[in-house]
Amino acid sequence: MSESTSKIRILLVEDDLELAGLYRMRMEAEGFEVKHCADGERALQAARDFAPALILLDIMMPRLSGFDVLDILRRTPETRNIKIVVLSALGQPSDIAKAKSLGADDYLVKSQVLVTDVMTRLHELLNLPSVKPAPQSE
């Protein structure tokens, strides 16, 4: 993806700054335009102003939880169609069911996926060819 065409925008909502830094670096390396928010309130603001194609959303955050952010985004006409992938440390089936019922497109558990897996899901959801298959020793 070259600099001249408009980049696909991704909003990264994550309060762990180290992890957020990594995701940001990775997404930018893959050619996305990334904006990062560390809490739910700012995420709502950014979802409107930045108009991303996809939001990578944490659940446990200060101020406003990811569930609330998800609920509000889905009720607001302007943000209703943004793709939302929840990436959380919560792994209980009930949490997953709740997020799905609130309208999350996918739910990934932090302890079960690697950054590469997250990126693969993003590409699938955005209908993009995958940048590079995960290296395998075959």
Partner 1 sequence: MSLPSRSRIFRKDAEFERATRQIRWAVIIITFATFPLNTPQTLIVYGMTGLAVLYNLSRYIPSWVHSKRYGSPIAMLAIDNLFVLSFLCVIHTLVTPYSALLVFMIISSALRYGLRGMLTVTLAQATLLVASMALSPFPPIALDDGRSVVTSLLMLMAIGLFVERLTWMDRHERSALRTLSEETSAERERLLTLINTLDDAIFVLDAKGRVQLSNGVAQELTGYKTPLQLIELSAVLPLRPRAKPRAKPVQIMEAGPEPQRRRDLSLFQTDGTAVDLDIHVTPVHAGNEKDISFIVVCRDITKERSLERQREEFISVASHELRTPLTILEAALSTALLTKNLAPQLTILLEQAHRNAVFLASLTKDLTTLAQAQNDNIPIALAPVNPGALLHQLAIDFTPEAKLKNLPLQVVIAPDMPPLLTTEHHIREVLQNYVSNALKYTTEGHITLKAAPGKNGSVLFSVTDTGLGISVNDQQQLFSKFYRAEDYRTRQTSGTGLGLYLCLELALRLNAKVWCKSVLNEGSTFFLEVPPFSRLERDHGKVTEAQVSSLVDQL
> What is the nearest approach in angstroms of partner 1 to the Cβ of residue 78?
30
SS3 call for 79: helix
> What is the nearest approach in angstroms of partner 1 to the Cβ of residue 116?
5
Are 104 and 74 spatial neighbours (Cβ–Cβ below 8 Å)? no
Work out the number of other CB atoms within 10 angstroms of the CB of residue 48.
11
> What is the nearest approach in angstroms of partner 1 to the Cβ of residue 74?
22
Helices (H), 1-138: 17-29, 40-49, 66-75, 93-101, 115-125
Q: Which residues bind partner 1 (CB under 8 A)?
A: 18-19, 22-23, 25-26, 29-30, 93, 110-112, 114-116, 120, 124, 130-138
Nearer residue to partner 1 within complex by CB, 6 or 94:
94
Nearer residue to partner 1 within complex by CB, 73 or 107:
107
